[in-house]
Structure 1
Amino acid sequence: MVPDARNTASLTYAAALRILPAAAEEAERLGVAVCMAVADSGGNPLAFGRMDGAPLMSAKIAQDKAYTVVAFNGLPTHRWYDMIADEPALLHGIVHTDRLVIFGGGMPVRAGGELLGAIGVSGGTADQDRAIAEAGAAAVTGRSSRKP
Protein backbone atom coordinates (compact mmCIF):
# COMPACT_ATOMS: atom_id res chain seq x y z
CA MET A 1 0.00 0.00 0.00
CA VAL A 2 1.12 3.49 -0.83
CA PRO A 3 1.36 5.87 2.14
CA ASP A 4 -1.33 8.57 2.16
CA ALA A 5 -3.46 6.62 -0.30
CA ARG A 6 -6.42 4.29 -0.08
CA ASN A 7 -7.65 1.47 -2.22
CA THR A 8 -11.20 1.76 -3.45
CA ALA A 9 -13.31 -1.03 -4.92
CA SER A 10 -15.22 -0.16 -8.04
CA LEU A 11 -17.51 -1.70 -10.62
CA THR A 12 -15.90 -3.03 -13.75
CA TYR A 13 -17.07 -2.48 -17.30
CA ALA A 14 -18.02 -6.17 -17.43
CA ALA A 15 -20.26 -5.71 -14.38
CA ALA A 16 -21.86 -2.65 -15.95
CA LEU A 17 -22.64 -4.73 -19.02
CA ARG A 18 -24.56 -7.19 -16.80
CA ILE A 19 -26.48 -4.39 -15.10
CA LEU A 20 -27.91 -2.80 -18.27
CA PRO A 21 -29.70 -5.87 -19.67
CA ALA A 22 -31.11 -6.79 -16.26
CA ALA A 23 -32.53 -3.28 -15.93
CA ALA A 24 -33.85 -3.31 -19.50
CA GLU A 25 -35.59 -6.63 -18.88
CA GLU A 26 -37.44 -5.16 -15.89
CA ALA A 27 -38.34 -2.06 -17.92
CA GLU A 28 -39.80 -4.27 -20.64
CA ARG A 29 -41.73 -6.24 -18.03
CA LEU A 30 -43.18 -2.97 -16.72
CA GLY A 31 -43.89 -1.73 -20.25
CA VAL A 32 -41.77 1.42 -20.04
CA ALA A 33 -38.89 2.69 -22.17
CA VAL A 34 -36.07 4.19 -20.12
CA CYS A 35 -32.51 5.44 -20.18
CA MET A 36 -30.05 3.61 -17.91
CA ALA A 37 -26.64 4.80 -16.75
CA VAL A 38 -24.05 2.93 -14.71
CA ALA A 39 -21.29 4.77 -12.84
CA ASP A 40 -18.27 3.47 -10.96
CA SER A 41 -17.53 4.33 -7.32
CA GLY A 42 -16.00 7.65 -8.39
CA GLY A 43 -19.10 8.69 -10.32
CA ASN A 44 -17.44 8.09 -13.69
CA PRO A 45 -19.67 6.72 -16.45
CA LEU A 46 -19.16 3.05 -17.31
CA ALA A 47 -22.14 2.17 -19.49
CA PHE A 48 -25.28 3.76 -20.85
CA GLY A 49 -28.35 2.52 -22.68
CA ARG A 50 -31.39 4.24 -24.13
CA MET A 51 -34.28 1.96 -24.97
CA ASP A 52 -36.23 2.63 -28.15
CA GLY A 53 -38.76 5.35 -27.42
CA ALA A 54 -37.20 6.52 -24.14
CA PRO A 55 -37.47 10.29 -23.60
CA LEU A 56 -34.37 12.16 -24.77
CA MET A 57 -34.19 14.28 -21.61
CA SER A 58 -34.07 11.09 -19.54
CA ALA A 59 -30.51 10.42 -20.71
CA LYS A 60 -28.98 13.18 -18.57
CA ILE A 61 -31.35 12.52 -15.67
CA ALA A 62 -30.32 8.84 -15.56
CA GLN A 63 -26.65 9.82 -15.52
CA ASP A 64 -27.27 12.37 -12.79
CA LYS A 65 -29.17 9.83 -10.68
CA ALA A 66 -26.20 7.44 -10.77
CA TYR A 67 -23.84 10.31 -9.95
CA THR A 68 -26.03 11.50 -7.06
CA VAL A 69 -25.90 8.05 -5.47
CA VAL A 70 -22.10 7.78 -5.49
CA ALA A 71 -21.61 11.45 -4.61
CA PHE A 72 -23.51 10.85 -1.37
CA ASN A 73 -21.90 7.55 -0.33
CA GLY A 74 -24.58 5.27 -1.74
CA LEU A 75 -27.74 7.06 -0.66
CA PRO A 76 -30.53 6.02 -3.06
CA THR A 77 -32.15 8.99 -4.75
CA HIS A 78 -35.65 8.13 -3.49
CA ARG A 79 -34.53 8.78 0.09
CA TRP A 80 -33.64 12.42 -0.50
CA TYR A 81 -37.06 14.06 -0.48
CA ASP A 82 -38.10 12.64 2.88
CA MET A 83 -34.78 13.79 4.37
CA ILE A 84 -35.23 17.41 3.27
CA ALA A 85 -39.03 17.87 3.08
CA ASP A 86 -39.31 19.41 6.55
CA GLU A 87 -36.27 21.68 6.17
CA PRO A 88 -37.23 24.60 3.92
CA ALA A 89 -33.68 25.87 3.53
CA LEU A 90 -32.58 22.50 2.18
CA LEU A 91 -35.76 21.80 0.23
CA HIS A 92 -35.49 25.09 -1.65
CA GLY A 93 -31.70 25.38 -1.69
CA ILE A 94 -29.96 22.04 -2.16
CA VAL A 95 -32.22 21.07 -5.05
CA HIS A 96 -30.38 23.70 -7.12
CA THR A 97 -27.12 21.75 -6.73
CA ASP A 98 -25.86 20.68 -10.13
CA ARG A 99 -26.47 16.97 -10.86
CA LEU A 100 -28.44 16.32 -7.63
CA VAL A 101 -31.61 14.29 -8.20
CA ILE A 102 -34.03 13.80 -5.27
CA PHE A 103 -36.56 11.32 -6.67
CA GLY A 104 -36.49 7.59 -7.32
CA GLY A 105 -34.38 5.81 -9.89
CA GLY A 106 -30.84 5.97 -8.52
CA MET A 107 -29.62 2.90 -6.63
CA PRO A 108 -26.25 1.90 -5.22
CA VAL A 109 -24.44 -1.25 -6.25
CA ARG A 110 -22.70 -2.73 -3.21
CA ALA A 111 -20.71 -5.84 -2.39
CA GLY A 112 -19.62 -6.77 1.11
CA GLY A 113 -20.99 -3.47 2.36
CA GLU A 114 -18.70 -1.52 0.04
CA LEU A 115 -20.04 0.92 -2.54
CA LEU A 116 -18.93 -0.23 -6.00
CA GLY A 117 -20.97 2.21 -8.05
CA ALA A 118 -24.55 3.00 -8.98
CA ILE A 119 -27.24 2.74 -11.59
CA GLY A 120 -29.52 5.58 -12.59
CA VAL A 121 -32.75 5.04 -14.51
CA SER A 122 -35.10 7.64 -15.99
CA GLY A 123 -38.11 7.55 -18.26
CA GLY A 124 -40.89 6.04 -16.17
CA THR A 125 -42.51 7.09 -12.93
CA ALA A 126 -40.22 7.42 -9.92
CA ASP A 127 -41.46 4.04 -8.65
CA GLN A 128 -40.90 2.37 -12.02
CA ASP A 129 -37.43 3.89 -12.33
CA ARG A 130 -36.60 2.66 -8.85
CA ALA A 131 -37.79 -0.89 -9.55
CA ILE A 132 -35.79 -0.97 -12.79
CA ALA A 133 -32.66 0.34 -11.05
CA GLU A 134 -33.05 -2.26 -8.31
CA ALA A 135 -33.28 -5.03 -10.91
CA GLY A 136 -30.11 -3.73 -12.55
CA ALA A 137 -28.21 -3.55 -9.27
CA ALA A 138 -29.34 -7.08 -8.40
CA ALA A 139 -27.50 -8.37 -11.48
CA VAL A 140 -24.26 -7.72 -9.56
CA THR A 141 -25.34 -8.06 -5.94
CA GLY A 142 -27.57 -11.07 -6.54
CA ARG A 143 -30.37 -9.65 -4.43
CA SER A 144 -32.87 -6.86 -4.48
CA SER A 145 -31.84 -3.76 -2.60
CA ARG A 146 -35.42 -2.50 -2.07
CA LYS A 147 -35.76 -0.58 1.17
CA PRO A 148 -38.24 2.15 2.09
Structure 2
Amino acid sequence: MRTKITPFLLFKNEAEEAANFYVSVFNGKLLNVTRYPDNGPMASGTVLTATFEILGMTFTALNWGQEAKYTETISFAIEPDTQEEVDYYWNALIADSGQEGPCSWLKDKYGVSWQVAPEILPRLMSDPDPKKSTAVMQAMMKMKKIIIKDIQAAYDNA
Protein backbone atom coordinates (compact mmCIF):
# COMPACT_ATOMS: atom_id res chain seq x y z
CA MET A 1 0.00 0.00 0.00
CA ARG A 2 1.22 3.49 -0.80
CA THR A 3 1.28 5.66 2.30
CA LYS A 4 -0.04 8.81 0.71
CA ILE A 5 -3.24 10.84 0.88
CA THR A 6 -4.42 12.75 -2.17
CA PRO A 7 -7.29 15.18 -1.63
CA PHE A 8 -9.95 15.07 -4.35
CA LEU A 9 -11.83 18.29 -5.04
CA LEU A 10 -15.16 17.87 -6.83
CA PHE A 11 -16.40 20.27 -9.49
CA LYS A 12 -19.39 20.38 -11.78
CA ASN A 13 -17.20 21.05 -14.83
CA GLU A 14 -14.42 23.43 -13.66
CA ALA A 15 -11.76 20.86 -12.66
CA GLU A 16 -9.13 21.93 -15.18
CA GLU A 17 -9.85 25.64 -14.60
CA ALA A 18 -9.57 25.17 -10.82
CA ALA A 19 -6.36 23.16 -11.13
CA ASN A 20 -4.82 25.91 -13.24
CA PHE A 21 -5.98 28.52 -10.70
CA TYR A 22 -4.34 26.72 -7.77
CA VAL A 23 -1.18 26.07 -9.80
CA SER A 24 -0.94 29.80 -10.58
CA VAL A 25 -1.58 30.93 -6.97
CA PHE A 26 0.91 28.52 -5.42
CA ASN A 27 3.46 28.35 -8.27
CA GLY A 28 2.69 24.65 -8.61
CA LYS A 29 2.48 22.39 -11.62
CA LEU A 30 -0.24 20.63 -13.54
CA LEU A 31 0.70 16.95 -13.58
CA ASN A 32 -1.98 15.26 -15.68
CA VAL A 33 -5.36 15.77 -17.31
CA THR A 34 -7.63 12.82 -18.15
CA ARG A 35 -10.79 12.98 -20.21
CA TYR A 36 -14.09 11.11 -20.25
CA PRO A 37 -14.22 8.37 -22.91
CA ASP A 38 -16.77 8.22 -25.73
CA ASN A 39 -19.13 6.09 -23.62
CA GLY A 40 -18.69 8.06 -20.37
CA PRO A 41 -21.42 9.86 -18.41
CA MET A 42 -20.23 13.27 -19.70
CA ALA A 43 -19.56 14.45 -23.24
CA SER A 44 -16.63 12.70 -24.90
CA GLY A 45 -13.43 14.66 -24.35
CA THR A 46 -14.72 16.50 -21.28
CA VAL A 47 -12.08 16.70 -18.56
CA LEU A 48 -12.52 13.93 -15.99
CA THR A 49 -9.60 14.78 -13.70
CA ALA A 50 -6.83 17.33 -13.46
CA THR A 51 -4.02 16.31 -11.13
CA PHE A 52 -1.74 19.04 -9.83
CA GLU A 53 0.89 19.70 -7.21
CA ILE A 54 1.08 22.71 -4.92
CA LEU A 55 3.44 23.24 -2.01
CA GLY A 56 4.67 19.66 -2.36
CA MET A 57 1.19 18.11 -2.11
CA THR A 58 -0.71 16.36 -4.90
CA PHE A 59 -4.40 17.15 -5.46
CA THR A 60 -6.90 15.81 -7.97
CA ALA A 61 -9.74 17.94 -9.30
CA LEU A 62 -12.64 15.80 -10.55
CA ASN A 63 -15.54 16.85 -12.77
CA TRP A 64 -18.57 14.92 -11.65
CA GLY A 65 -21.32 16.88 -13.41
CA GLN A 66 -23.06 18.13 -10.24
CA GLU A 67 -22.62 21.20 -8.08
CA ALA A 68 -20.02 20.65 -5.37
CA LYS A 69 -20.94 22.02 -1.97
CA TYR A 70 -17.90 22.70 0.17
CA THR A 71 -18.16 23.60 3.85
CA GLU A 72 -15.70 24.71 6.50
CA THR A 73 -15.65 21.19 7.91
CA ILE A 74 -12.66 20.61 5.64
CA SER A 75 -10.10 23.32 4.95
CA PHE A 76 -6.53 23.69 3.76
CA ALA A 77 -4.22 25.64 6.06
CA ILE A 78 -1.17 27.47 4.84
CA GLU A 79 1.38 29.13 7.15
CA PRO A 80 3.08 32.05 5.43
CA ASP A 81 6.20 33.50 7.07
CA THR A 82 5.69 37.20 6.29
CA GLN A 83 2.87 39.73 5.99
CA GLU A 84 3.69 40.04 2.31
CA GLU A 85 3.01 36.31 1.86
CA VAL A 86 -0.19 36.51 3.96
CA ASP A 87 -1.40 39.39 1.78
CA TYR A 88 -0.50 37.59 -1.45
CA TYR A 89 -2.27 34.32 -0.60
CA TRP A 90 -5.26 36.07 0.98
CA ASN A 91 -5.81 38.37 -1.99
CA ALA A 92 -5.20 35.66 -4.60
CA LEU A 93 -7.57 33.19 -2.95
CA ILE A 94 -10.46 35.66 -2.41
CA ALA A 95 -10.09 37.17 -5.89
CA ASP A 96 -12.97 36.83 -8.35
CA SER A 97 -15.81 36.28 -5.83
CA GLY A 98 -14.03 34.51 -2.98
CA GLN A 99 -15.25 35.35 0.53
CA GLU A 100 -13.41 36.54 3.61
CA GLY A 101 -14.17 34.78 6.86
CA PRO A 102 -13.13 35.36 10.46
CA CYS A 103 -9.80 34.50 12.09
CA SER A 104 -7.75 33.72 8.94
CA TRP A 105 -10.46 31.71 7.17
CA LEU A 106 -11.68 32.33 3.64
CA LYS A 107 -13.44 30.60 0.79
CA ASP A 108 -12.02 30.81 -2.69
CA LYS A 109 -14.13 31.35 -5.82
CA TYR A 110 -14.89 27.61 -5.94
CA GLY A 111 -16.10 27.53 -2.34
CA VAL A 112 -13.04 25.68 -1.00
CA SER A 113 -12.10 26.76 2.54
CA TRP A 114 -8.60 27.93 3.37
CA GLN A 115 -6.84 29.20 6.47
CA VAL A 116 -4.11 31.73 5.80
CA ALA A 117 -2.54 31.73 9.24
CA PRO A 118 1.06 32.90 9.49
CA GLU A 119 3.40 30.60 11.37
CA ILE A 120 3.75 33.17 14.16
CA LEU A 121 0.07 32.83 15.12
CA PRO A 122 0.07 29.27 16.56
CA ARG A 123 3.51 29.87 18.04
CA LEU A 124 2.39 32.93 20.03
CA MET A 125 -0.98 31.39 20.88
CA SER A 126 0.78 28.46 22.52
CA ASP A 127 2.92 30.63 24.79
CA PRO A 128 2.84 29.18 28.32
CA ASP A 129 1.99 32.64 29.72
CA PRO A 130 -1.83 32.69 29.65
CA LYS A 131 -1.91 36.51 29.51
CA LYS A 132 0.14 36.52 26.34
CA SER A 133 -1.65 33.62 24.64
CA THR A 134 -5.06 35.10 25.55
CA ALA A 135 -4.06 38.51 24.20
CA VAL A 136 -3.05 36.93 20.90
CA MET A 137 -6.29 34.95 20.72
CA GLN A 138 -8.36 38.07 21.43
CA ALA A 139 -6.51 40.04 18.75
CA MET A 140 -7.00 37.25 16.22
CA MET A 141 -10.74 37.03 16.98
CA LYS A 142 -11.14 40.64 15.77
CA MET A 143 -9.48 39.97 12.42
CA LYS A 144 -10.37 38.45 9.11
CA LYS A 145 -7.00 38.54 7.36
CA ILE A 146 -4.27 38.17 9.98
CA ILE A 147 -2.08 41.23 10.48
CA ILE A 148 1.20 39.99 11.92
CA LYS A 149 2.25 43.30 13.50
CA ASP A 150 -1.06 43.50 15.38
CA ILE A 151 -0.70 39.93 16.65
CA GLN A 152 2.87 40.68 17.74
CA ALA A 153 1.78 43.92 19.44
CA ALA A 154 -0.95 42.09 21.39
CA TYR A 155 1.65 39.56 22.53
CA ASP A 156 4.25 42.20 23.42
CA ASN A 157 1.76 44.37 25.35
CA ALA A 158 0.23 41.55 27.41
Shared topology, TM-score over 0.5?
no
When Rg is computed on C-alpha atoms for both structures, the one with the higher figure is 2
Q: Which has the higher strand share?
A: 2
Q: Which has the higher helix share?
A: 1
Higher relative contact order (CA 8 A, sep 6+): 1
